[in-house]
Amino acid sequence: MSTCGAPAGGVALADVNVGNQAVIQGRVTRDGQPLASAYVRLLNSSGDFVGEVVTNEEGTFRFFAADGEWKVRVLASGGFTAEYTVTAEVGKAVELSVQA
């Protein structure tokens, strides 16, 4: 369960029509297998917390964001932590592939 009340992983990656949205999405894997129950946090460019989802059984996550620079922090079992800086743009989806 996610701390923000969103479904685990958000909407399935194949189900999104980007249209007029800026999307940040991706998949977390370990040893080539999807990693469920990893926490993925969205932070603004100053590092302030904006939202969090938990990856689903397919290891996927998704955020809808405003244009601009964002940070995505991934926390997974085994002490794995990684942070990525991405630039969101309306009409495009940023894809992250995370090997935990």
What pLDDT, on the 0 to 100 scale, is given for residue 67? 94
What's residue 1's pLDDT?
Answer: 41
Rounded Cα distance between 10 and 28, Å, is 14
- pTM value? 0.81
Q: Select 13-99's CATH number: 3.20.20.220, 1.10.10.10, 2.60.40.10, 3.10.20.30.
A: 2.60.40.10
Percentage of the chain lying above the pLDDT 70 cut: 82
For the segment 31-53, the average pLDDT, to the nearest whole number, is: 96
Token pair for residue 20?
């007029």
Q: What is the mean pLDDT of the chain?
A: 88
